[in-house]
Amino acid sequence: MGVACSLDQKGRPMQRLYRKRIVLGVGGGIAAYKGAELVRRLRDQGAEVRVVMTRGGAEFITPLTMQALSGHPVHMDLLDPAAEAAMGHIELAKWADLILIAPATADLIARLAQGIANDLLTTIVLATDATVAIAPAMNQAMWRDPSVQANTRLLEERDFRVFGPASGSQACGDVGLGRMLEANDLAQLAADCFQRLTLTGKHVLITAGPTQENIDPVRYITNHSSGKMGFALAEAAVEAGARVTLITGPVNLATPDRVTRVDVVSARDMLAACEAAIPCDLFIASAAVADYRPEVIAPHKLKKDPTNGEGLLLQMVRNPDILATIATRPDRPFSVGFAAETEHLLDYAARKLKDKNLDLIVANDVANPSIGFNSEENACSVIDRALHATLFAQTSKAKIARQLITFIADRMNQV
């Protein structure tokens, strides 16, 4: 009997690990040889893989093999100046969406349980907010030992995922529990870590990117929004089981898999597209919409006036408020706005929450260049109707998006 496989709108197998960032930790056990096949299976599902090896792991399979299969240098040393200049332990911890340790030896499990950070791999685990999974691999008698069992239970209580072990023949000749799961099984379990179906059956409408307001046929007014946050939210909402409509201004980004994309240019175009997409259950307005547009669009390119050396005056008019329009409809969806501010962040965001009749607002400090427009990372605070702020620490926009979708879905279910 074949394994059932979900397909996307074009009939292709859905890859839940597509563009996911996985740190594969390789411990010092004979099962380390399976790491080569595991890297291949993870990459087959679309994941980007960085390998971190312990010294013991490198005795069983060479770093060169893992580098060739992953396409990236293998990381081994905690205090390697060259590695720190490229992607050090803190950067790897922040980069990862999932840390999968396979094989996880009894020694590694014990050190993780006690919070010991005496090599690169254990240090990354302590420094990450990503999901951590272990695939135990050891002699069957070692696996049964009460101390190993206690350490494993302790990790499970701390939300570590434990994959296996399986039962079977072992390298030492024994038979029993302790054998590491096969690569295909581990890749499937890794994919399951991203299956958060908190929005199953919901229609989610998301706006992203900037809008452009024409001055004449060659000039326009816009802003620095890249659209990356909105696209990451769309991808996270699909992972959560939603049907997603993404309405985006002009951006240079690929459409996330299983997302219905609508391209627009101006604020009025975006409002019309949003209204056409309703009804929806959740509206997330992450687009940076222009507040004003020129009252008149010149039919031809404007020329410099040689008789006026003072400059050019444009008469501007207000654009429609997309967020307030949707959030005040009789059939309003659960409405989430974004506030991109350079000062008085929480005060301005709270005022916008109230004025636009929102359920939640995500406040971003775009004055900080490390999390501002066009950056790969973000940090934010989410304010609710009770004006309580929940902080989401700086990390990749993809991870922030998943955290936000989980948070928003939880709040929706409370309404």
Catalytic residue annotation: 172
Are the beta carbons of 409 and 198 closer than 8 angstroms? yes
- How far is Cα 213 from Cα 220, in angstroms, rounded to an integer? 5
* Sheet of strand 161-162: strand arrangement: 48-53, 21-26, 98-104, 131-136, 161-162
Taking residue 80's Cβ as centre, other Cβ atoms within 10 Å add up to 14
Residues in the chain: 415
Are the beta carbons of 104 and 133 closer than 8 angstroms? no
**What is the SS3 assignment for 294?**
strand
H or E element, residue 87: helix 81-87
Helices (H) and strands (E) in the chain, counts: 15, 19
Classify the C-alpha dihedral 249-264-405-51 as positive or negative: negative
- How far is Cα 332 from Cα 300, in angstroms, rounded to an integer? 41
Are the beta carbons of 274 and 326 closer than 8 angstroms? yes
Are the beta carbons of 31 and 137 closer than 8 angstroms? yes
Locate the DSSP E strands across 196-310.
203-208, 213-216, 219-221, 243-248, 259-263, 282-285, 292-294
Report the interhelical angle of 228-239 vs 397-414 (nearest 10°).
Answer: 60
- How far is Cα 180 from Cα 265, in angstroms, rounded to an integer? 53
Are the beta carbons of 180 and 31 closer than 8 angstroms? yes
Of 73, 75, 70, 25, which is closest to residue 48 (Cα–Cα)?
Answer: 70
Placement of tokens 């396409």 in the chain: 71
**What is the SS3 assignment for 18?**
coil
Locate the DSSP E strands across 81-229.
98-104, 131-136, 161-162, 166-169, 175-179, 203-208, 213-216, 219-221
